[in-house]
A and B are shown apart, each in its own frame.
Chain A
Amino acid sequence: QKEVEQDPGPLSVPEGAIVSLNCTYSNSAFQYFMWYRQYSRKGPELLMYTYSSGNKEDGRFTAQVDKSSKYISLFIRDSQPSDSATYLCAMSQNYGGSQGNLIFGKGTKLSVKP
């Protein structure tokens, strides 16, 4: 079983839809959870950063962490064609050292159709 599982998609939605992206993980020691967005041929961009369980909202984006289920989600409201990208989840155990290194999901490719 891989440490982080993420459905690669592709996921295609109409403009304005609510998008739900998810990752599951196996290591209960993960405490820090991130979502990155990567446009084609570009480096990933940090979107959301959360610690432990709970929700975090930033504009149209909401990140949810359920540590009891080892499940994290990213919701995008009122999706736009400009949201079309690959979304990667990432997580780590701690700060610093090897435990601070991020473990990435494989990424979900999202396409928002106008």
Chain B
Amino acid sequence: GAVVSQHPSRVICKSGTSVKIECRSLDFQATTMFWYRQFPKQSLMLMATSNEGSKATYEQGVEKDKFLINHASLTLSTLTVTSAHPEDSSFYICSARKTGRNEQYFGPGTRLTVT
């Protein structure tokens, strides 16, 4: 199997607060995990690539100080949205790539609403 979980599935927070989203590969090890954002009726937008034990690589236009990524183990990566604002409201999806493979397995997503 290749199961990826995300927690929480849904979060509502107030503007200015920080939110942490966890992504876990449950039955395989993932050297690399990815974080995507998806706006309604739009495709996936890659935000950053997270490698276990090293700094994340951010896509152009994504603020690394705002979206903090930590990949401390082969099964867990976290995304922290710092000082969230309403424009950060979106569907955040993580994926994990099995070590030595290139297909990605996605988590169920986290819907973030900032009020």
Q: Does A102 contact B (CB under 8 A)?
A: yes
Pick the residue among A100, A104, A105, A106 that contacts B97 (CB under 8 A): A100
In the complex formed, the residue of B with least CB distance to A6 is B43
Contact A102 B107 (CB under 8 A): no
Q: How far is the CA of A106 from the CA of B93 in the complex (A)?
A: 15
On chain A, the residues within 8 Å of B2 by CB distance are 46
Check A94/B106 contact, CB under 8 A, given A41-B111, A88-B43: no
In the complex formed, the residue of A with least CB distance to B6 is A43
Q: Does A84 contact B (CB under 8 A)?
A: no
Docked complex: B85-115 residues within 8 A CB-CB of A: 91, 93, 95, 97, 100-109, 111
Chain A interfacial positions (CB closer than 8 Å to B) = 32, 34, 36, 41-46, 49, 88, 90, 92, 94-96, 98, 100-102, 104-107
